[in-house]
Amino acid sequence: LIGTWAAADWAIRFYEKYGFEQTSPADKDLLLRAYWTIPERQIETSVVLADGRWFEANTA
> Which residues are 22's β-sheet partners?
49
Residue 40's domain spans which residues? 2-58
Total domains in the chain come to 1
- The set of residues, in sequence order, having a beta carbon less than 8 Å from that of 50 and lying 6+ positions away, is 1, 2, 20, 21, 23, 58
Which letter does DSSP use for residue 23 in this model? P
- Cα–Cα distance for residue pair 26/13, rounded to 1 Å: 21
**pLDDT at position 59:** 83
- Res 49 pLDDT > 90: yes
Stretch 16-27: mean pLDDT, rounded? 97
Q: Phi-psi category of 24—alpha, beta or left, where left has phi over 0 and alpha has psi -120 to 50?
A: beta
- pTM here is 0.92
What percent of the chain lies above the pLDDT cut of 70? 98
